[in-house]
Chains A and B, each alone.
Chain A
Amino acid sequence: MEYFNPVETLDREQLSRLQLERLRSTVDRLYEKVPFYRKKLQDIGYKRGDLKDLGDLARLPFTTKDDLRDNYPFGLFAVPMRDIVRIHASSGTTGKPTVVGYTLKDIEVWSDLIARTIVAAGGGPDDVVHVAYGYGLFTGGLGLHYGAEYLGATALPMSGGNTKRQVRMMVDFGSTILCCTPSYALNIAEVMQEMGVSRDEVKLKSGILGAEPWSDEMRQQIEEKLRISAHDIYGLSEVVGPGVSIECGEKKGLHVFEDCFIPEIIDPASGEALPPGKEGELVFTNINKEGLALLRYRTRDISKLIEEPCPCGRTHVRMERITGRTDDMLIIRGVNVFPSQVETVLMQIPGLSPHYQLVVDRVESLDVLEVQVEVSPEVFSDEIKRLEELEKKIRDEVQSYLGVSVKIRLMEPRSIQRSEGKAVRVIDKRKI
């Protein structure tokens, strides 16, 4: 099975026509049904028929996470509650949770998108899809689950945590596709080793990994340790959940399912749309969603769009893997630092374990960035001199990559907390 849905290979002209048609009907519907959007569209003097081509999208107003919070919980829904069959919500760590709702048709469209991602990752109806994303209000678990069933594969609803049990089930039930965060995939590989489970006892062939930024170096580690093909999946609950985009076998960017979402890259400071190939903030417009459809939703994720055709045959535009979020970006003494940059450097130093943590503190009004790294037997030496050389090597490489001075702290193995979902990469102790 090469593609799940023929729409994935639609030529550009047909795809653009489909997008414009769907964009117009979405905007008109939102104008009619959602007071928030009616006001926003009236503010810019929008009238029915104003959208002549896709370029006119750039004139429409943005939607932000704050807009969702201000209209908590259901204020932006475009259908009556009796038509909503499912609610999901993001964790409310930085304020009120953001709440999203799906109609029955939305669930079907979403399941179709996930089925496409599983096929893009080399899966099909014969696979056992091991879903180790959390089940619940988080979109990860149920999203992958419904998509696996829709494809006709076997869904294994493991949810996160209890890693030893995950490994046992993986062996007993013959899981072939692992769905979880990349950091959890590494944790599973480690526990598998500790339990003495050999790789030949598991049938895993690929991984659909996402929900946190990761690097190509981390992909290599996962692919080596678990002997799978690791595919980056992208999505966010506000837009639909996982299944906004996926890496095909080429692994050179993630195909955005453009029949459902129109991606844009903007300058996060000015809001100006940027030309193809430029890096900036990803913005999505829903054009195939009933319950909650957002216009130009600002993701805070940093990426760029790749318009060149992909050898896999899918015509949908690719986005580069997320290099960070504008809001997990650390500013250390005025320098922008993404945890994924530190990871890239660490993974290039042989023998270092993929577990690391950044601790930011402010000492006498000066930001201090400490990078905690675990000492594996491969890099350990009985001579302090050699350990200090290792520290210096890590420090020099991180510093020259980030352009900011750091302190390296060598830690004992397994002393950095292991992820059972999203890895905690940054501890910010600064009181600003």
Chain B
Amino acid sequence: MKARQVSVFLENKSGRLYEACKCLAEEKINIRALSIAETADYGVLRLIVNEPDKAMRVMSEKGFTVSETEVIAVEVPDEPGGLAGVLAPLYEANVNIEYLYCFVEKSGESAIVVFRVEQLDTAIDSLQRSGYKVMREEDVYRI
């Protein structure tokens, strides 16, 4: 139920994001989803890729500081209120969300929300009890 996200530390200078992505491209690693959090001096690139182990390895070989984080990916209906709906059970279960990012699935019928929360198991439990589909790890990498 938990998926692995690859996080990369990037200094805020020109070409670093390109270098990071090029390094994945050369190894034929496919990015399924990403988000960037930034401050004035640096950013954190968060990636869902088809081969997280390989991505961790090649990026650290190239000298990037990388870490692996457990996240959960949830399918929600792609319609007004979709995100609010999935947040309700988390709110009720007192789950603190560190960050999230969303994208629309290829079929266009549903959206996928990637959550980073403090209490992963509580979150999964409360989402499932409210009828949401928490994606299996291997499915996340195939999005």
Residues of A near any B CB (own CB < 8 A): 375-377, 380-385, 387-388, 409-415
Tell me the bound Cα distance from A415 to B63 in angstroms: 10
Instruction: Knowing A383-B99, A383-B116, say if A412 contacts B67 (CB, 8 Å).
Output: no
Task: Tell which of A383, A385, A388, A413 touches B65, judged by Cβ atoms closer than 8 Å.
Answer: A413
Closest Cβ neighbor of A409 among chain B residues: B41
Closest Cβ neighbor of B5 among chain A residues: A382
Tell me the bound Cα distance from A415 to B116 in angstroms: 29
Within 8 A of A (CB), among B64-91: 64-67, 69
Residues of B near any A CB (own CB < 8 A): 5, 7, 9-11, 16, 37, 39, 41-42, 44, 46, 60, 63-67, 69, 98-99, 116
Of B10, B44, B46, B116, chain A has the most CB atoms within 10 Å of the CB of B44
- 19 pairs across A/B with beta carbons < 8 Å? A375-B65, A377-B66, A380-B66, A380-B67, A382-B67, A382-B69, A383-B99, A383-B116, A384-B39, A384-B44, A409-B41, A411-B11, A412-B9, A412-B16, A412-B63, A412-B64, A413-B64, A413-B65, A415-B11
Of B37, B41, B60, B64, chain A has the most CB atoms within 10 Å of the CB of B41
Instruction: Knowing A377-B67, A414-B63, A415-B11, say if A388 contacts B39 (CB, 8 Å).
Output: yes
A413 in contact with B63 (CB, 8 Å): yes
A377 in contact with B65 (CB, 8 Å): yes
Tell me the bound Cα distance from A380 to B69 in angstroms: 11
A377 in contact with B5 (CB, 8 Å): no
Q: Please indicate the chain A residues that have their CB under 8 angstroms from the CB of B9 in the complex.
A: 375, 380, 410, 412
Tell me the bound Cα distance from A382 to B5 in angstroms: 9
Tell me the bound Cα distance from A280 to B52 in angstroms: 56
Of A377, A382, A385, chain B has the most CB atoms within 10 Å of the CB of A382
Instruction: Knowing A375-B65, A377-B67, say if A383 contacts B11 (CB, 8 Å).
Output: no
How close is B42's CB to chain A, nearest CB, in angstroms?
Answer: 6
Q: Please indicate the chain B residues that have their CB under 8 angstroms from the CB of A387 in the complex.
A: 39, 42, 44
How close is B71's CB to chain A, nearest CB, in angstroms?
Answer: 9
How close is B114's CB to chain A, nearest CB, in angstroms?
Answer: 12
A382 in contact with B44 (CB, 8 Å): yes
Q: Please indicate the chain A residues that have their CB under 8 angstroms from the CB of B69 in the complex.
A: 382
Q: Please indicate the chain B residues that have their CB under 8 angstroms from the CB of A411 in the complex.
A: 11
How close is A193's CB to chain B, nearest CB, in angstroms?
Answer: 13
Closest Cβ neighbor of A384 among chain B residues: B37
Tell me the bound Cα distance from A387 to B40 in angstroms: 13
Instruction: Knowing A387-B42, A412-B64, A412-B65, say if A382 contacts B7 (CB, 8 Å).
Output: yes
